[in-house]
Amino acid sequence: MGRLDKTPSHSRSASPPESTLPEGFIYLLHWRHRTGRVEHYIGWTRDLEARMRAHASGSGGCPTTRGYRRAGMRGRLVRLWRGTMSDERTLQQTLTFPLDCPICCGIEIDTVRCEGKIYTDTLR
């Protein structure tokens, strides 16, 4: 089943550290082409709905996801956390695929719920 069964060691710390960085949402997008090509994108935003609309549009989002859309890939939100931009960078370095993607692990997703707050500052 993969690593999805385990709570990451860097999440849900007992005592949150003080941070001056703004908190928002860290999200994982699963992108798939009809030929079977799969890509993953981890991002951060304060306005999740607006950011998802931007990624879904042909002209919005970021250069990476625009390239996926232009290549005919379809993306969807598969995981969600609360955290800072610094936490996003840490997740980009620690998550591994396909093990940390529920779709790649064969888990069907109807609704994506926030998995909690990421406290990566405690690892440094």
For 88-124, write each residue's pLDDT tens digit.
999 999 999 999 999 999 999 999 999 999 876 544 4
Decide if 97 is inside a domain: yes
Q: How many domains does the chain have?
A: 1
CA-closest candidate to residue 40, choices 105, 87, 86: 105
Summarised one tens digit per residue, pLDDT across range 31-67 is 999 999 999 999 999 999 999 999 998 777 789 999 9
Q: Is residue 76 a part of any domain in this protein? A: yes
* Distance from C-alpha of 23 to C-alpha of 11, rounded to nearest angstrom: 14
Domain containing 119 equals 23-123
- The pair of structure tokens assigned to 33 is 């082409």
Distance CA 104, CA 122 (A): 29
Stretch (H or E) spanning 114: strand 114-117
In a domain, residue 5? The reply is: no
- The answer to the question of residue 89 being in a domain is yes
14 inside domain: no
Token code pair at residue 103 = 């779709």
DSSP string, 3-23: GGGS--TTBS-SSPPP--SPP
**CB count in 10 Å sphere of residue 68:** 22
* pTM summary value: 0.81
Residue 13 belongs to a domain: no
Predicted pLDDT of residue 15: 43
Helix (H, G, I), strand (E, B) or coil at 24: strand
pLDDT surpassing 50 at residue 28: yes
Please check whether residue 118 is in contact with residue 91, taking contact to mean a CB–CB distance below 8 angstroms.
Answer: yes
